[in-house]
Chains A and B, each alone.
Chain A
Amino acid sequence: MDSNRRDFLKLAGLTAVAGVAIPSAFGSLLKGEAMASGGPEPVAKTTGKRYGMVIDVKKFAENPGLAEKCINACHTNHNVPDFGNKKDEIKWIWVDSYEHVFPADSQYKRPDNLYKLPILTLCNHCDNPPCVRACPTKATFRKKDGIVGMDYHRCIGCRFCMAACPYGARSFNWRDPRGKDANGRPFIKAENPQYPTRMRGVVEKCNFCTERLAIGKIPACVEAAAEAKGLIFGDMNDPNAEISQVLKTTYTIQRNPALGTHPSLFYII
């Protein structure tokens, strides 16, 4: 073909590419979605809400069955399925023992009763969450009030966040949570009509009951442990909140603090 037609075609091609790329690039830049800098701020802001929770392990040891109550409250509220096998297991909050929850702490010459303590384990809602840094679609994100949220619509199920989490807090839907087991029993025992389920192929975890906080309620687990005062939840940036008083006066430990994740969960052992 002669050079005029060739040049025209080259120009047309370039214009077509530019015409598609430039508006979309502008759009994402204007919307502020393409973040130039890294991820969330590494240290908690002192203004605005900053939710945290103190877990008083002694109260759970003194009240057998309390931890189960909390777990049931959470899992029922949020339609968390029970597949009945460890491989597909999904858990937002569960009980584990000291050497598993605090592997970075000393395991040497500990008191005997330490390993029998039931320690509630859940997502730490870190200030500096590695999972948020890892997520390629911002399907998991850190909100301004400190809660690390999940958007199940956007999650592509790559499980990079699960590899990134240093606390093993996340679960994946390896199969359809609305299915039934071999005996015909549904995995979700009792559906809570006010909260959705998830679909197969997405990651899920504790969300600090952000939907309950929005309507002025406390998280389901905190409510279940309210009488025994096993869980103290509140705004750590509010100096008058109960949690701030507790943190000021009581010694608490955190999970693997050397990693610099700044968890929002504190344990009184």
Chain B
Amino acid sequence: MIEKALKGSTGYWVWLLALLSIMAIGGLAYTQQFSYGLGITGMSRDVTWGVYISQFTFLVGVAAGGLMLVLPYYIHNYKEFGRIVILGEFMAIAAIVMCLMFILADLGQPMRALNVMLHPTPNSMLFWDMIVLNGYLFLNILCGWVVLQSEYKGVKYPKWVKPFIYLSIPWAISIHTVTAFLYCGLPGRHFWLTAILAPRFLASAFAAGPALLLIIALILKRNTKFDIGQTAKDKLVTIIGYAAMLNFFFLACEFFVAYYSNIPGHKHTLDYLFWGLGHGEQMYNNLVPYMRASVVMGLAGIALIFVARSKQSDGLLALSCALIFIAFWIDKGLGLVLGGFVPSPMEYVTEYVPSFQELAITAAIWATGFLVLTILYKVAISVKLEKDA
């Protein structure tokens, strides 16, 4: 089936070439990082995780978002999702590939990455993260490919695949819960030390993942004959809208706990993110415009997505999905990860600005993810369109 990715329009090849060029530039930047060290990034002694880990955290959510398609179709027999389940699974594959690449890019000694497997440490959440991420990658590759191939051959998928599909459902929850557990179990970081972190992660994941999927589905409808259908689109709107609303409710809960209890440790990070933190004479507020924008975009996106559905407007739908996706990308990426380091455990504020090489490597990894996604989607769409004909 993979040969279907070798035939495409000019647009398809131009897109792949663009992605490969971005990957090449990032690859060069990575050689610089590999020889100089991670000091080439904007990270410092106080802010030890930056754009790489924040992208990884966000993308685990996008991967888990695939669950929102698998669950209705396989458990609740929601046949209208029949055309897009494979898109969800393939998107999960691309997202997990990006996650793993971001983790490797962030390691100080990437050649020793296998130490995590050679010296298993069950008390470490990173160990479990390694297990669940690789397991989820394997599950999605297996289930997605086998089911697609059966469809290609015109038969029903074999029975042995069913247990793996059922396994992938709680596994999707687990990948994002374990990733949340990386943060919410650390005693020194009050911003992260909250039980609601895992539910918040899942809520934003179930909004951001399907939002990206819906945007891609609309692009596919424009450029190919593949249409996921109005019912599927409407259902996705429900899922995205409610998940996004839930995430903002959780955020409101965080605000309440911090500002009503008035405990400085709880307030300080939210102060820094949304209003700026004054320390001595200096005001630290480089993230404030982004965080405020993310709230505005997210709420606007939620309102707009329901309007788009009632008006049946694809343009508005794409816009609202983009607003929601970017809002959660800022919220989870910039806000959550960087916020945990401000103020530092010794009550210092060190701000973080990513360097050029860091951004180039980040772009390259995103481009790799999109490359994987494009190739897999090309295969899936070709198979489905052939079946239609």
Contacts and interface: CB of A to CB of B under 8 A. Distances in A.
A201 B109 contact: yes
A159 B113 CA distance: 13
A35 B45 contact: no
B80 interface: no
A175 B188 contact: no
B44 A167 contact: no
Interface residues of A, number: 55
A184 to B, nearest CB: 18
B38 A136 contact: no
Interface stretch (A47-55, A99-107, A234-242): A99-107
Nearest to B44: A87
Contacts, number: 154
Nearest to A157: B108
A137 B116 contact: yes
B182 A35 contact: no
Interface stretch (B118-126, B209-217, B253-261): B118-126
A138 interface: yes
A133 B107 CA distance: 19
B187 A158 contact: no
Q: How many B residues are at the interface, by size bracket?
A: 35 or more
Contacts of A163: 48-49, 186, 189, 340-341
Contacts of A39: 123
Given A154-B115, A166-B187, A202 B346 contact: no
Contacts of B185: 133
A168 interface: yes
A200 B37 contact: yes
B116 A172 contact: no
A136 B344 contact: no
Contact of B37 (A139, A154, A162, A175): A175
A39 B356 CA distance: 39
A28 B118 CA distance: 9
B55 to A, nearest CB: 15
B48 A155 contact: no
Interface string B109-148: 1101101101111111111001000000000000000000
Contacts of B344: 168
A42 to B, nearest CB: 12
A14 interface: no
A29 to B, nearest CB: 10
B39 A137 contact: no
A159 B49 contact: yes
A197 B289 CA distance: 43
Nearest to A171: B45
B189 A100 contact: no
Contact of B347 (A35, A88, A99, A259): A99
A34 interface: yes
A36 B121 CA distance: 9
Contact of A130 (B112, B119, B186): B186
B345 A168 contact: yes
The dominant DSSP class at the B interface is loop
Contacts of A173: 37, 108
B116 A136 contact: yes
A137 B115 contact: yes
A201 B346 contact: no
A261 interface: yes
B211 to A, nearest CB: 29
Contacts of B110: 156-157
Contact of A201 (B38, B341, B345, B350): B38
A138 B113 CA distance: 13
B346 A165 contact: no
Interface in A242-265: 256, 259-261
A136 B108 contact: no
B46 interface: yes
A23 interface: no
Given A101-B346, A201-B107, A260-B187, A136 B126 contact: yes
A134 B126 contact: yes
Contacts of A199: 109
Contact of B123 (A35, A101, A176): A35
Interface in A154-202: 154-160, 162-168, 171-176, 199-202
Interface string B179-220: 000100111110000000000000000000000000000000
13 contacts: A36-B122, A38-B122, A86-B45, A136-B121, A136-B124, A156-B107, A156-B113, A162-B48, A163-B48, A165-B345, A167-B188, A174-B37, A174-B38
Given A134-B124, A163-B186, 13 more contacts: A35-B121, A35-B123, A87-B45, A88-B39, A130-B186, A133-B185, A156-B116, A159-B48, A160-B126, A166-B186, A172-B48, A200-B37, A260-B187
Interface of B: 36-39, 43-46, 48-49, 103, 106-110, 112-113, 115-116, 118-127, 130, 182, 185-189, 340-341, 344-348, 350
